[in-house]
Structure formats: structure tokens, C-alpha cells
Amino acid sequence: LELDPGQRDVLMQIGSLHEAMGDFSAAEAAFQEYAEEFPENHQVLTQLARLARRQGNLEEARAFYERALLLAPSNVGLMVGMGTLERAMGNFDEALNQYHEALSLAGTPEERIQVYSAMESHHMARGQVGKSIEIMDESFTEMAVSLPSFMILLQRLTEAGTYAEAGRTEEAWGIVEQARAELPPPYDLMAPLGEMDIHLALEDTDGLEATLPAVETAITTLQYELIRPTLLAAQGELHFLKGEYREAIMAFEEQRRLAPANASVQRELGRCYRELGEYDQAVTLMQEALAISPFGPRANFEMALTYEAMGLMDEARVHLARALEVWAEADPGYKWAARARQVSERIGRG
């Protein structure tokens, strides 16, 4: 790349563009070239760390984060990134330590919101939905400092399903009704987004089928294509729940095309191929998801079900045990932990 030395920052933009398009090799090449020119720049090391993780190179990601933290030891974003990496590798206590330290150093509402978001995801992954909601509420308090109330309400819509998953369905629907009553036009069109989230949490196929057209209308009317992958994920889940696995694959593949960095798509695709009996493809996709997050409980659970379907019970028990380890302190009513325990009773300990 022939660039004037003063234009080296263009490399960062090129790398970010390639990353957004899912071309991780080209992104890495651009970031590495920048890092060679500016080895003391912690921002490019952060980009390389995130990229390494997305490619399943977790120890390499850790090394980049450690180098970056030596250069910027009080950087909240770096601490959050390291904490999220620790969570992916099963070091849950260390992940929380990183988040709490980051929170103690966060000096702005934006930084605190970033930490709260990571902590919320951490507790959701462990099936601690009630704790996740507590942290979510802290985040909304921070948002109130700098955002108008209607923007906060829009954000709350995307979390309505979390309340439903915690068994707090009345509160979940209350968020939707508040959005309908208080969001100014045309943002009131976004209320069905909350409905969709609730129906997903409840696995309500009739409700989903009735709501998805309204979400499509909101996206096209507001030209808000940023949430198109969210709609595609819901469409894929609807097809999956109805046993329409080929149609589900089409939706999830389109989601992956639009959001290539979302590792959960491989897991969802793997579930579909398992139900079709295409086990090799299912295992390959699950392995891709687990390379990025070896202790991802849902991916481990789905891999266990896949190996069980293949008759590979020892392999199934390994992944099931890992999922149950992550969910060891889940809320009593958390559905995925309950389902994992049912499978454990079915396949035993070997």
C-alpha cells in the first residue's frame, strides 16, 4: 500500500472496513502494517486483539490486550475487552474482576455504560437473568445523564425479552405499552421490536409470526437497516421452532452476511443442520463458534445435543458438563440450564 507517511491512519480505516465486511485476513494485514509503523499505539493493538479473538486465536488476543494495557493501563475499553476474553475462556471470576476494576476507573457515563453492558452480558451468559436486569437498570440510570428519554425507551425495548426470560412478563409488556404511549412519531413504529423480543424469549411462534411484519415495516419506514440482522435472527428462530430448517438456514445465512462478526450465527446454523441430520456440517459450525468462545454455554449445549444425535455419548457428556459448569449458579427458573439438566439425566455420566 503506497501511502504518504502522514496518511498512515488510512490503514486503520481500511482495516475496520475489511473487518466489517468479514474479511478478517485483509483487516489483520492492514492493522499489522499500522502496528509496525506505530508499535506504541494501544488502539491498533486493541483492534488486533479483537480480530484475533474473532478468528479463534484466543492466546494471541490475550497477548495483544496485555501489550495494550501496558501502554494504557487505565483504559476502560481495554479492561472490558480483556474481561470479555477471560469470560470466553472460562475465567469468570477474573472477568468480573476486570469489569469491576474498569468500573472503578470509568470517569464518564459512556464508559460506565460500556462496563455495565459487558457485565450484563456476563451474567446473561451464566443464566443469572435477575442480576443482569439489575445491572441493566444501572446502565439506564447512566443513560439518563446524557440521552433524551425517548432514546432510553428505545433502548429498553431491545431488552424487553430479558424481563420475559426472568419470568417478569408483565414488566416486559409494560415496556412495550410505555413505548406505544410515549414514543413520538415516527419512533412509535419501533414498539413491535419489544414485542418481538418478548415472543422470542417465550418461544411464542404465533406471536412472532404476527409481529415480524410490523418490525419489517419499522425498518423500511425509518430506513433503520442497522437492526436488519436482529430481524433475520428472529425470522430464523421462528422457522427453527416451526421445524422449517432450510428456511431457517436461509435467514441465518443472510444474518451472517450482514453481521459477519456475530459468532452466535454459527451456533444457530449448526442447530439447523443437526435437525436435518447433516451432522458433519453441524459439528463444523459448532466448532467455529466454540473456537471463539470455548466456554460459551449455549454452543456447548448445542454441541452436546449434536454429538448425542450422532451416538457419540462421551463427546456429548464433555460439552454438556461444560455448559452445566457455566450455568452452575444460574437462576432457578433459567430454561437453558433446566434443559441441560434434563439432557444430563437422559445421557447420564457414562
For residue 109, with 0-12 CB atoms within 10 Å meaning exposed, 13-18 middle and 19 or more buried, which class applies? Answer: middle
pTM over 0.85: yes
C-alpha grid cell, residue 29: 494485514
Neighbours of 187 (CB within 10 A): 18
Q: What is the distance in angstroms between the CA of the first residue and the CA of the last residue of the chain?
A: 57
pLDDT for the residue numbered 7: 60
pLDDT for the residue numbered 121: 97
- Give 204-252 pLDDT, tens digit per residue: 999 999 999 999 999 999 999 999 999 999 999 999 999 999 999 999 9
Q: Is the pLDDT of residue 11 over 90?
A: no
pLDDT for the residue numbered 1: 47
pLDDT for the residue numbered 25: 87
Residue 23 DSSP code: -
Lowest mean pLDDT among 74-88, 91-105, 139-153, 301-315: 139-153
- Give 99-138 pLDDT, tens digit per residue: 999 999 999 999 999 999 999 999 999 999 999 999 999 9
Q: Which residues contact 207 (CB under 8 A, 6 or more apart)?
A: 195, 198, 199
- Give 137-187 pLDDT, tens digit per residue: 999 999 999 899 999 999 999 999 999 999 999 999 999 999 999 999 999
pLDDT for the residue numbered 350: 59
CB 100 within 8 Å of CB 112: no
Distance from C-alpha of 53 to C-alpha of 57, rounded to nearest angstrom: 5
Cα torsion through 20, 227, 154, 333, rounded to 10: -100
Q: Is the pLDDT of residue 4 over 80?
A: no
Question: What does the chain come to in residues?
Answer: 350
pLDDT: which is higher, 8 or 1: 8
Q: Is the pLDDT of residue 309 over 80?
A: yes
pLDDT for the residue numbered 43: 92
* Mean pLDDT (whole number) for 183-208: 97
- Give 25-80 pLDDT, tens digit per residue: 899 888 898 888 888 999 999 999 999 999 999 999 999 999 999 999 999 999 99
- Per-residue DSSP letters for 92-146? HHHHHHHHHHHHHH--SHHHHHHHHHHHHHHHHHTT-HHHHHHHHHHHHHHHHHH
277: left (phi over 0), alpha (psi -120 to 50) or beta: left
From the centroid of its chain, how far is CA 80?
14
Distance from C-alpha of 155 to C-alpha of 240, rounded to nearest angstrom: 27
Q: Is the pLDDT of residue 264 over 60?
A: yes
- The average confidence (pLDDT) of the chain is 94
